[in-house]
Amino acid sequence: MPSWTRLDDPEAVAALLPAWFAGRMMGAQEGHFGLLLTTGDVLRVASLRAAHISEAGTILLDLMLDHAGVPAAADLAWRSKHFLGAPVTGAAEATVNLAHIVCAVDFSAAAAVETRPELAAEAAEAVSATVVELRQVAEEAAERVSPP
């Protein structure tokens, strides 16, 4: 049976997941984030509670889920996605395998861009960099799990 290490210190998680979302999501009491999954669904997340890493390199994320549904400020291109959230009231805790996450989005940041258009270019650059970082971390995790 594999051994797991739990990381709930924001700095340790940020070192494990060098993307912007680790620090922001761990610091959020109630945020509005989305994780685009390999299935094409978007998992609505309020915060990141901890990360777990196995001896084999698998990374799991403990999350507090947000409510389901399309965020009010979501771009038209995102509206066709299926937005998953807490399945029932009071059942907001979830654990997700990092290898199944393609992209992370801060929906509260999208609302800020909507009210301050000058932030749009900066936000687009940050999202692009995040996608590259997240893909690299996921590929590295998948390589550690896959047999040579």
Checking if the pLDDT of 57 tops 60, the result is: yes
How far apart are the C-alpha atoms of 117 and 48, rounded to whole Å?
28
The pTM is what? 0.70
Confidence of residue 14 (pLDDT cuts 50, 70, 90): confident
- Residue 32: predicted pLDDT: 84
Checking if the pLDDT of 48 tops 80, the result is: yes
How far apart are the C-alpha atoms of 83 and 70, rounded to whole Å?
6
b/e per residue 1-14 (b: at least 16 CB within 10 A):
eeeeeebeebebbb
The type of residue at 119 is L
**22-35: pLDDT as tens digits:** 878 887 667 788 99
Which residue range(s) make up the domain with 10? 4-145
Q: What percent of the chain is predicted at pLDDT more than 90? A: 33
Number of domains in the chain: 1
- Residue 35: predicted pLDDT: 94
* Average pLDDT estimate for 92-96: 95
